Structure 1
Amino acid sequence: MSIHAVSPLFVGRARELSVLGDALARARAGMPSTVLVGGEAGVGKTRLVGEFIDRADDAMVLVGGCLELGTEGLPFAPFTAVLRGLVRQLGRDGVAALVPGGDARGLARLLPEFGEPDRGGPEARARLFELVLGLLERLAEERAAVLVVEDAHWADRSTRDLLSFLVRYQRTAGRLLIVVTYRTDELHRTHPLRPMLAELGRVEWVSRADLRRLTRREAVAQAASILEREPSPADMDLIYARSEGNPLFVEALLSEAGGGDALPESLRDLLLASVERLPEETQELLRVASAGGQRIEHDLLSAVAGLDESSLSRALRPAVAGNVLVVDGEGYSFRHALIREALHEDLLPGEHTRLHTRYAEALERDLSILPAPRGAIELAHHWHSAHDSTWALVSAWHAAGEARKSTAYDEQLGMLSRVLELWDQVPDAAERIGCDRLDVLKQIATVAHLAGEYERSIALASAALAELDQQADPIRTAVVLRQRGLTRYDLGRPGYLDDLRRAAELVPADPPSKLRAQVLETLSRMLHGPEDWPEKIATGEQAREIAREVGDANVEAHALIDLTWARFGYSEVEAQMAAFAEARAVAAGGDAYNALMRCSISESDALEGAGWHERAAQVARDGVEEAAHYGLARTSGTFLAINLAEPLVSLGRWDEALQVIEHALDLTPPAPYRASLQGYATDIALARGQLDRAEQSLGMSRSVLSRGTYRDQTVLPHLCREVRLLQARGQMEEAVRAADRALAEQDLVSSPRYAWPVLVTFARLLVAVVPPAQRSGPAQSGPGVGSAQAPGALAQFALSLSPRLRALGQELSVVGDLQQAQRLTFSALTGPESPIADAAELVAWQVKAWDLAAGAWAALRQPYEEARSLVGVAQAALAAGDRQEAATRLTRARELAGQLGATPLLEQIDVFGRRARIGGSDESAGEGQPLGLTARELEVLREVASGRSNREIAEALFISVKTVSVHVSNILAKLGAATRGEAAATAHRLRLFDAP
């Protein structure tokens, strides 16, 4: 009988195969599915995946593995392997045809067959990720596709980032299953894969399959399959005790023991036992191969070994037959990485250095043996492992350049850091690489920024600036200052304007240069305050003129956008749009897609700020499609989704807005974008009375905003939502205190567009808290004015905010129809600027004020704000004795609120109509009790809202505690409230117990 090296029988993995099979079934049904397969070395992850693939029927299977090179992995290695396999299968043109938009140049960052990569920059990496996902989406359209990424414990940061991106955005990829394997015994506490696995584990469609060791019964079945006979109990006892159920060790022990009693003394001996039985020339070749990594190309192995084809084949054949090596495409892989590791660790120091030197020399002679960027990075690895400082530095410099082409910024940062580490060991380092140490520092600072290492970028830039002589070397100083200014701005750190202004001073105006145009445009873009407008315009104009002169369309377009924001307000919409159109034309002419995206973002934002909601929505919608064309759907596209959701919310198209928000969130955008999207979902939930949903959305936004520094356009709407939610829950004191903190901490004067909604929100809060009797001057009317339940201390505290609010309202500028509508609403809520002693005159003023606000909102086509203002008109008209006018306005308000599903506003309208005995054309409709409550239930609810217990209510109303309990249950059911506190909040919100 023969002895198989690998068990023909696949044992002990039925459950794991079922997990993978179920995941593939979900993928076939169009549901996203990812399986993370973990297990210790030798436990059978590769065998499991292989068996699963054999059962995958007609699914397209794409396999790529991560490669280990010493301490660093190879950028995008599994995806390069997948792409190369697709090119072999479909041809270059066939793969290019599957790329969204038909432009496959971005794939050149992974495979040189696709030509030269397109323009680099921060967006290039995002676009590459989009292209890979888009390609997988297209492949999965006709049949299910399975992407297998093996050995993720060796994944570099770029590979981890892309893999995480694909899993998180998998919902859009159709019938795609992603399978990731990794060694659990490699994941030490600080291993970089650990946080990624934890993050992916929270994604709903990600499942895990952790491979355990075999039971004794399973190990016996494996051994019997290998030996083609049942092993003796004594042999099996010894083998199982030694292997502890690890399938690889069971195989190795069976092969080594051969039925005898001799066993290796260590695991290393166990792993090398199968090698030591091979011919000496094969063992020598395996030692050579071990220095080349887990996978080695045939041509490279031949060059390093120095063997002709015949000798190489003769030496390789026993290794393949003995299952130490397996054929892998155009090269070979060790059957198990542990075997390679044991061989490599067994090399003597002299052998280690000599072999790595031979690999480096072979790659120096012909780097095309390996595809870019792998060749350059492996070359750097081998010179470093050979301890040759000079060539390690030079090759690391070139490898950094190759990593940059692939947008592998983390790997580029690692290579440049190695250059810096080796600098003092190479006396002529500057001559070797063609630049000095300061240039290296400057590049590392830039790459650290691109890699998201902001703190390190600032530290490196500061170190470079400390060594630079600003007078002797102004150009390089300006470059580093610009980089530090950009990074400080991204971190919300002070000093970024000082850096940019100093950089602008250092770059000479003559001759014109791209650098001066870039510095000036960056400075112009970062100047946000109205007091900075003159400087913003002056620097923007200079940047534009220089960019035009030197032929930099990207900078010219950005400068035009900066100037447009500075020159035109929300009352000059057409002129503003014409200026943005000019910037768009320049960007399109220069294929500057980043500037094109900024044009769409700026246009839609400006239109919405002016109250031109329909046009804003259309521009944003077109921009989302344009972003998808450029491969930026999940970056620029999701930002434009924010600009689409905002006008849809304004227009009252709330269900459509929620669809846009849900789709954008499915793409898992960057955290700040996600917070903004969830903010608009919060607005809708609050308006519809869905307080738990509002709390959930607001909590997600809150967690994002707590981790960074953000501008007014993000912070101020969030403050409004916090206050509105507290008010809706009846937590009036907390709401007032939150408003007080905001007034003390925020500069509201500099951002009228975002400050006016804050003032209106706070004014509504004070109207709800302070009853007429507690105000100075004549009683004033407004929506829901008067809250007799408000505690005296809270009312006094709220009153103390009123002068500050009024002062802000007088100081804040008004530009455009939208801000005018907000100012009119604020005025109606806070009352006339000068006291009106005569009650009739005051009421007439209130009717007119609310009527103007309602008309302004109607002209802007904002139904929710129009309905709220109409309620104000109705209340003021009723106070003036005009019941017919009050009924007409209330009917229209009810119609608008009903169309929106604005339940709290509908309830407020219903309560007011019933109390005032008006409402639509049937004034008798209000004669019943509010919300279907009986008179006794209203009495009980009043006591509940006052915070009394069932026993206290029973004593006050002279009924039994049991009867109170029944009434409370009925009240909760009728109000749809889960708790007494929620019922009390509803009563306060609807002002059920205000004086008629």
Structure 2
Amino acid sequence: MSARSVSPVLVGRSAELRMLETALGEAPGAVLVGGEAGVGKTRLLRHFTDRAAAAGARVLVGGCLELGSDGLPFAPFTAVLRGLVRETGIDGVAGLLPRSATAGLARLLPEFGEPESDAASGEDRARLFELVLTLLERLAERSPTVLVIEDAHWADRSTRDLLAFLIRNSGTAPLLIVVTYRTDELHRTHPLRRLLAELDRVERVRRVELTRLTRGEVADLVRGLLDREPPAGLVERVWERGEGNPLFVEALLARDGSLACALPESLRDLLLAAVQKLPEETQETLRLASAGGTRIEHALLAAVSGMDDTALTRVLRPAVEGNVLVVDGDGYAFRHALIREALHDDLLPGEHTRLHTRYAEALENEPELVPSGRLWVELAHHWYSAHDPTWALVSAWRAAGDARKAVAYAECLAMLSRVLELWDKVPDAAERIGAERHDVLEQAVLAAELAGEHERGVKLATAALREMEALGDDARCAALLEQRGRMGYELARPGYLDDLRAAAARLPAEPPSAVRARALASLATFARHLSGTDEARVAAQESLAIARRIADTPAEVNALLTLACVDIDYDGGLEELVEVERIAQRSGNQRPLLRVAVLRSHYLEGSGRHAEAVEVAAQGVELAREFGLSRTHGTFLSINLAEPLVSLGRWDEALTCLRQALDQDPAISIRTSLHVLAGEVALARGDLAEAERHLSPAREMMWRKAQDFFAMLRLESALRLAQGRPAEALEAVAGVLDNPGLPDDARYTWPVLVIGAGACGELPDRAAAADWLERIEKRAAGLAVRGPLQEAHHVTFAAKAALAHGRRDAAAWDAAATAWERIGQPYPQAKSLAHAAEAALADGDRQSAALRLRRAAVLAERLQAAPLQHRIADLSRRAGLGAPAERPAPNLTPRELEVLRLVAQGRTNREIAAALFISAKTASVHVSNILAKLEAPTRGHAAATARDLKLV
């Protein structure tokens, strides 16, 4: 009796299988499945998907391809789409999407036609991502859907970006995304490492790593392979040699059920030993197939081998029967990618060159042997591997064009870099591709910027500038300087302004040009962050004049909006924004409306018109979604949506908005404000640990602009004050005192000065407090007060400063409460009422104090602002109103009381687990039960409630 090549049962993976099935039942969500090569990821997924399909789920599978360092843009998604088309037809797929939207899929699959334009942009890429998400969610609405992406360690940049987008943005449809990857492939700098770490923080993502089998599980596997009880000692010998790797176990067992003898020590040798058992002509064909990749079409292998269908089938049959190859649709796949790697690595140098040349020649003679979207990238790979620089360069140039159409900018950059690498090896390179080297450099700069490869882009731009300088082409030099300046800004390099200034100065004012208008607009946009408003205003005005002279409406709208940003007047100025919006609408170009939405919602919030700001920002978020720009403009608008929600006291809505935006991994300039807002809500509810957690990433962007820098300082100073560290709070306030004159200064400075005045009142060193207060009042004296929001801060500052001087003024605090009530901000209104009540108590006016406290208590309770609630309760007792109505003590178990005491000390789940000798997961369950029993939304609120009830 011979051994089976694959066990008929799944061994040692029951827990992982249950987890996958649970994840499908709770979808949407994602599961990241890692493990070393041969550990059984594919087997686990096959069992899971078979059971899911039997239960009525749709299963979509796509694998990443290993093509040297080239990759293939969106390969797994192209495979999934091709399978859907094969199953339902073009019309069936089109029926799942909005009208006229299927043209966007042409960037993935030629069957959908040609892309709308060759010059793809960031917006086109974002729209493609949204389109794929829409397609998957529509499928999931019909039946639960499982999307499996295998071998993500080989994923190209574009595939990783699209995968991350889908995981972060899946809505409510039952869509489960399962991703497999080899952990032993993830070296320290592997790009998948960062993505996995980021996805770990997404709420609906589970991560599991398959480990090697135990000795008992190896015994079960051997039994399944032999289909009988193994001979004495066999399991032990297999266990010792195979070390629990299922692939090793399968390779170690000979077909007669004995332990293979004279086996090499490494996996590579084991895998080659399995191949060497096959007939010589089969081995030769497998070596040939190994040059074609992990999966190869039958027709392509036939063309390369020179065999007809019958002969090729005969030669490959032993490999299929021996489980070296498996039949996969119209082609073959190696049972394990390591088998292909071992075979390919075993090729002699001359053999390596000869085989890749045969592939390249076959593809050139019959391009239809591979899907059209793969032709040039495959040719580029094979000609490069065949050491033919001429055709490798030509193919890479064409592959770069295909990648650009597919909005796969990282892959486009890789191919353009290959062209540049080979340029000096091909004497007639320019004639071969119809472009000069400086043209290639320019395209590479653009691809690098769009791909977010700013370090590489700056180097390419510098190289391109040298060549353009030699040509004396001022317009192209100006464009490159502007690009280098923008990328320098993204890299936080202070010299970026020098590039932008040089770009604007490179071209004369006459004749007017679109390049100069763009350079001036970029200078105006970025200069205002560091150099103040004057330079930005002058640049924006000139950009506007040029745009109007050359009738460039998008440039005109951009210049008008930049001018509006330079010095916002919250007492007026909305009419100007409305007029800009009309101009954009008349132009027929809808994209400038996104920037209008950003600035208009920003203005409304800064004017204290919070409800209107919510409406405008929400419309902008929806517009960004329609344009396929949710990850960029949409997340930026989420700041402008969450901020007024926080102001209005709609904190739970704001937190949902912030969490969704952060899950999309926005740029650092966007993340800062998102973290600040989330941290301030946590602080107001008494969760100081959560506030601290948000402060750390908020500090990453300290130098850019007041909106980020001062907001971060606002959170830091408030948090330090809440922690009883007023001196450190004032050190944070110093960042605002020492940086006057930034754009939108007053709006972001006033709230920090209010905190600073409060910290002065709590500083034990009265001489130091007086010095600090003098500096703070001097800064306040130089600030403008524009609009009702700044007026509310101004009135509150006056009351705080008076308190720091030792004067309690109930009337001043009443004025502050009225100002906050007027613009609908319940939290500062409640705090002002509490201060007014405290001042009234000091004056002996218990009756009016009681009235203020009752109003404040209602607001604080609605907000679940635990620290403020405790302060109001304390003042109420002092006012003779008695303590708040006693709540019945919750029915906590002894263990839950132990956990609650540690929660009240600010311990994390991991720290609680260590203190009580339980697992972190068990600690998390206890904390969740405690929050539910105390009806507390946060750990801080639970701790405060426990103190009220004298549980701790």
- TM-score normalized with structure 1 length: 0.80
Q: Which residue of 2 aligns with 1:730?
A: 724
Task: Quote the Cα distance in structure 2 between the aligned partners of 1:348 and 1:229.
Answer: 42
Of 750, 758, 763, which aligns to 2:752? 758
1:356 CA displacement: 0.9
Of 800, 806, 811, which aligns to 2:771? 800
Task: Quote the Cα distance in structure 1 between the aligned partners of 2:858 and 2:7.
Answer: 74
The residue type paired with residue 176 of structure 2 is L
Of 21, 24, 31, which aligns to 1:34? 31
CA deviation vs aligned residue, 1:382-412 (integer Å, no higher than 9, x gap) = 0100001111122122222222222333222
Secondary structure, counterpart of 1:68 in structure 2: coil
Task: Quote the Cα distance in structure 2 between the aligned partners of 1:260 and 1:830.
Answer: 85
1:333 CA displacement: 1.3
Q: Does 1:177 align with 2:176?
A: yes
Task: Quote the Cα distance in structure 2 between the aligned partners of 1:101 and 1:573.
Answer: 39
Shift in CA distance, 236/256, structure 1 to aligned 2, threshold 3 Å: same
The residue type paired with residue 796 of structure 1 is A
Q: Does 1:522 align with 2:522?
A: yes
Q: Which residue of 2 aligns with 1:479?
A: 479
For 1:492-571, what aligned pairs fall within 5 Å after superposition? 492-507=492-507, 513-528=513-528, 529-545=532-548, 548-549=551-552, 554-566=554-566, 569-571=569-571
Secondary structure, counterpart of 2:501 in structure 1: helix
Q: Which residue of 1 aligns with 2:787?
A: 816
Of 573, 580, 593, which aligns to 1:596? 593
For 1:222-621, what aligned pairs fall within 5 Å after superposition? 233=232, 243=242, 246-252=245-251, 254-255=253-254, 263=262, 270-273=270-273, 275-276=275-276, 278=278, 281-469=281-469, 472-507=472-507, 513-528=513-528, 529-545=532-548, 548-549=551-552, 554-566=554-566, 569-586=569-586, 589-592=588-591, 595-621=592-618
Q: Which residue of 2 aligns with 1:772?
A: none
Shift in CA distance, 220/859, structure 1 to aligned 2, threshold 3 Å: closer
Of 697, 711, 717, which aligns to 1:717? 711
CA RMSD of aligned residues (A): 3.9
Task: Quote the Cα distance in structure 1 between the aligned partners of 2:635 and 2:192.
Answer: 27
CA deviation vs aligned residue, 1:496-537 (integer Å, no higher than 9, x gap) = 333223223334666665434433332332242332354144
Shift in CA distance, 556/10, structure 1 to aligned 2, threshold 3 Å: farther
Task: Quote the Cα distance in structure 2 between the aligned partners of 1:888 and 1:450.
Answer: 59
Q: Which residue of 1 aligns with 2:920?
A: none
The residue type paired with residue 61 of structure 1 is V
1:124 CA displacement: 3.7
1:723 CA displacement: 1.6
1:712 CA displacement: 0.9
Shift in CA distance, 384/848, structure 1 to aligned 2, threshold 3 Å: same
Q: Does 1:71 align with 2:42?
A: no
8 Å CA contact 2:7, 2:224 repeated in 1: yes
Q: Which residue of 2 aligns with 1:684?
A: 681
Task: Quote the Cα distance in structure 1 between the aligned partners of 2:70 and 2:830.
Answer: 62
Shift in CA distance, 253/538, structure 1 to aligned 2, threshold 3 Å: same
The residue type paired with residue 53 of structure 1 is T
**Identity %, equivalent residues:** 50
Greater Rg over alpha carbons, structure: 1
Of 31, 39, 45, which aligns to 2:41? 45
CA deviation vs aligned residue, 1:523-558 (integer Å, no higher than 9, x gap) = 332242332354144233135326635xxx644443
The residue type paired with residue 654 of structure 2 is A
1:416 CA displacement: 1.9
8 Å CA contact 1:520, 1:542 repeated in 2: no
The residue type paired with residue 459 of structure 1 is K
CA deviation vs aligned residue, 1:24-68 (integer Å, no higher than 9, x gap) = 223223363414141333x44323322332222222111111111
Q: Does 1:630 align with 2:627?
A: yes
Task: Quote the Cα distance in structure 2 between the aligned partners of 1:253 and 1:908.
Answer: 71
Q: Does 1:22 align with 2:22?
A: no
Shift in CA distance, 702/307, structure 1 to aligned 2, threshold 3 Å: same
The residue type paired with residue 641 of structure 1 is S
CA deviation vs aligned residue, 1:625-649 (integer Å, no higher than 9, x gap) = 2223333334332322221121122
- 5+ residue gaps, structure 1, are 770-789, 918-924, 933-972, 988-996
Task: Quote the Cα distance in structure 2 between the aligned partners of 1:860 and 1:238.
Answer: 78
Task: Quote the Cα distance in structure 2 between the aligned partners of 1:479 and 1:128.
Answer: 28
Shift in CA distance, 234/756, structure 1 to aligned 2, threshold 3 Å: closer
8 Å CA contact 1:870, 1:893 repeated in 2: yes
Shift in CA distance, 221/652, structure 1 to aligned 2, threshold 3 Å: closer
Secondary structure, counterpart of 2:178 in structure 1: strand
CA deviation vs aligned residue, 1:549-605 (integer Å, no higher than 9, x gap) = 5xxx64444334224434862222441341242254156x1353xx33222212111
8 Å CA contact 1:580, 1:603 repeated in 2: no
Task: Quote the Cα distance in structure 2 between the aligned partners of 1:103 and 1:673.
Answer: 29
Secondary structure, counterpart of 1:98 in structure 2: coil
1:799 CA displacement: 0.6
The residue type paired with residue 714 of structure 1 is D
CA deviation vs aligned residue, 1:45-103 (integer Å, no higher than 9, x gap) = 32332233222222211111111112343222222211211222222333234347872
Task: Quote the Cα distance in structure 2 between the aligned partners of 1:245 and 1:662.
Answer: 41
CA deviation vs aligned residue, 1:340-360 (integer Å, no higher than 9, x gap) = 233323333222212211211
The residue type paired with residue 46 of structure 1 is T
Task: Quote the Cα distance in structure 1 between the aligned partners of 2:844 and 2:259.
Answer: 109
Task: Quote the Cα distance in structure 1 between the aligned partners of 2:939 and 2:288.
Answer: 72
Task: Quote the Cα distance in structure 2 between the aligned partners of 1:422 and 1:708.
Answer: 42
| Greater Cα offset, 122-131 or 83-92 | 122-131
Secondary structure, counterpart of 2:13 in structure 1: helix
The residue type paired with residue 45 of structure 1 is K
Shift in CA distance, 276/520, structure 1 to aligned 2, threshold 3 Å: same
8 Å CA contact 2:287, 2:347 repeated in 1: yes
Secondary structure, counterpart of 2:148 in structure 1: strand
Q: Which residue of 2 aligns with 1:941?
A: none
The residue type paired with residue 863 of structure 1 is P
